[in-house]
Structure 1
Amino acid sequence: MQSYSVTNNLPYFKYWCHFTTRIGSFDLFQWLDIPLYIKVGNAEQMTTWFHELVALREDSALTSRLREKAILLQMIACYLESVPIHILQQRSEEIERLDQLQKYIERNLHKSITVEQLAEAVHFHPNYLIKYFKKHFGMPPARYMQRKRMDKAKFLLTTTSQSMKEVAQQSGFESTNHFTKSFRKETGFPPTEYRKNVKGL
């Protein structure tokens, strides 16, 4: 609960909004050693942004949601340009470890990847890796890899003329049948129909 008051005839106005900011899978403010508040250099510009946010919030259009994000990114950029940025040492090491995990998965997506192999890549015990992975990526390793395989399959379907067998192999599915069933379960469409619909847009 918050309350504010003034003791003279010079009241002030306070604008605030709550949001999270991620770069990839990382919470931006969790990793940076930066002040909780700053003195705004261009108060007029910041006020304008807040007024625009309020107006956009009352509009239900899809484009309004995009414009909201654009304004928030402007505000964050303005804030970060005004403060010295230091990545906490322990966070820096963690970012490197998470980057290693992501790169290992990307490099080996066409193969079957075990939790043991992932754990070995960052020198963790497999049981600890599962908890660690879920904490930072928001899902277990198997689910994350499935999502990455689906993303790659969608990309190949819409940007190449490869056969279903080739797409399945390059995306890391054990068979074309398994790929087709998994893809339909995930998207609601068989791969051939998905390719046709997206390319026809």
Structure 2
Amino acid sequence: MFRFISPPLPHFIVCGEDTYPAGGRHSDRSGIGEFDLLIVTRGCLYMAEESVSLTIPSGSFALLRPDRAHRTTEPCREETHFFWAHFQTLGSWHETEAELGPDELRPDDAFREIHRFAFYLPRSGKLSSPDAAYAWLRQLISLQTDSSSTSQWRQQLVFQELLLRLQDDTKLPESSSYLKIADEAASFLRRNYKESLSYKAMSEELHFHFNYIALCMKRAYGYTPLEYLTRYRVEQAKRLLIDTNEPVGRIAEETGFGSFPYFVRCFGRQVGATPKAFRMRFRSPYG
């Protein structure tokens, strides 16, 4: 199983389709620098990636790493048709069977951590909705005939739908259930950041005791719910300070801080400047 940390999302590069006769063989390649997704619609491919054998029958797929050699272990026994798609990511990725480490979703800065997430793609598996996957791949091939920026944008959107389908076909490790709870808790906090943090409301919404929710968030993000909420509130305040002329005291109220001194204190700890100094940094002296 491959774990991707996003953003950025994996990006589509190119795709196509091939039909091999009985006795045909997939090309042996090494270190192509791109993930190679193979989806077989008819027949069967017999592959190996270094020491890992991969048999890919009709209605199944396999995902080959960009940094390893792969080869055919035996020729096709019957006519075999398959789609292929190459993609890569500028973000981090790992092949793993282990659960996500507690530091891997911690922020490089406070703004980005709110939006970072992990998703998993299986090395291989059976498609639960093969016709839908085939349709997306045909659409990708069709879009390649148009080099416009609009077509390229649509390619990326269609490709993300395909990756979502592959992820849905994957059962996450049972030990990763805390990630789901942490994600739901973070979503709850973002929706309700203007309100006071209610342990009871959060527990009722997520159907878990607040202490367990806090443990899950600490493990996934490195923050307790209150720490996460405070950081998110400060990020909303930063946007308002830059984009509006609202008084600083009003912004403190709108972003859920109970008092102005508390807002200034939290803002200073996280940003390293007062709200007023931060605002002036991004304001033109003529504006």
Question: Shared topology, TM-score over 0.5?
Answer: yes
The Cα shift of 1:189 comes to 1.0
Match of 1:28 among 94, 119, 125: 119
Q: Determine the C-alpha separation between the residues in 2 that align with 1:126 and 1:83.
A: 30
Secondary structure in 2 aligned to 1:124?
A: coil
| Pair member with larger Rg | 2
Deviation beyond 4 Å, 4+ runs, structure 1: 15-18, 77-84, 93-100
Aligned: 1:164 with 2:255:
no
Runs of at least 5 residues in structure 2 that lack an aligned partner in the other structure: 1-27, 34-65, 68-90, 95-104, 106-113, 126-154
TM (norm. structure 2) is 0.43
Q: Determine the C-alpha separation between the residues in 2 that align with 1:187 and 1:24.
A: 18
Output one character per residue of 1:144-201: Cα deviation in whole Å (capped at 9) or x when no partner. 1111011100011011111111100111111111111221121111111111111239
The answer to whether the 8 Å contact 1:25/1:136 transfers is no
Match of 1:150 among 227, 234, 253: 234
Find the counterpart in structure 2 of residue 133 from structure 1. 217
The Cα shift of 1:138 comes to 3.6
Find the counterpart in structure 2 of residue 19 from structure 1. 92
The Cα shift of 1:95 comes to 8.0
Find the counterpart in structure 2 of residue 101 from structure 1. 185
Find the counterpart in structure 2 of residue 188 from structure 1. 272
Q: Rate the CA distance shift 1:90–1:181 in 2: closer, same or farther, 3 A.
A: same
The share of aligned pairs that are identical, in percent, is 23
The answer to whether the 8 Å contact 2:194/2:256 transfers is yes
Equivalent AA in structure 1 for residue 124 of structure 2: P
* Greater share of helix: 1
Find the counterpart in structure 1 of residue 262 from structure 2. 178
Find the counterpart in structure 2 of residue 113 from structure 1. 197
Q: Determine the C-alpha separation between the residues in 1 that align with 2:276 and 2:118.
A: 37
Aligned: 1:85 with 2:176:
no
Equivalent AA in structure 1 for residue 115 of structure 2: G
The Cα shift of 1:79 comes to 10
Q: Rate the CA distance shift 1:24–1:193 in 2: closer, same or farther, 3 A.
A: closer
The answer to whether the 8 Å contact 2:268/2:275 transfers is yes
The Cα shift of 1:101 comes to 2.8
Output one character per residue of 1:28-83: Cα deviation in whole Å (capped at 9) or x when no partner. 22xx44539xxxxxxxxxxxxxxxxxxxxxxxxxxxxxxxxxxxxx9xx9799699
Output one character per residue of 1:1-28: Cα deviation in whole Å (capped at 9) or x when no partner. xxxxxxxxxx964355693388934212
Secondary structure in 1 aligned to 2:124?
A: coil
The Cα shift of 1:112 comes to 1.5
The answer to whether the 8 Å contact 1:34/1:85 transfers is no
Q: Determine the C-alpha separation between the residues in 2 that align with 1:160 and 1:99.
A: 30
Q: Rate the CA distance shift 1:106–1:167 in 2: closer, same or farther, 3 A.
A: same
The answer to whether the 8 Å contact 1:34/1:83 transfers is no
Query: Which structure exhibits the higher relative contact order, with contacts defined as CA atoms closer than 8 Å and separated by 6 or more residues?
Result: 2
Equivalent AA in structure 1 for residue 118 of structure 2: D
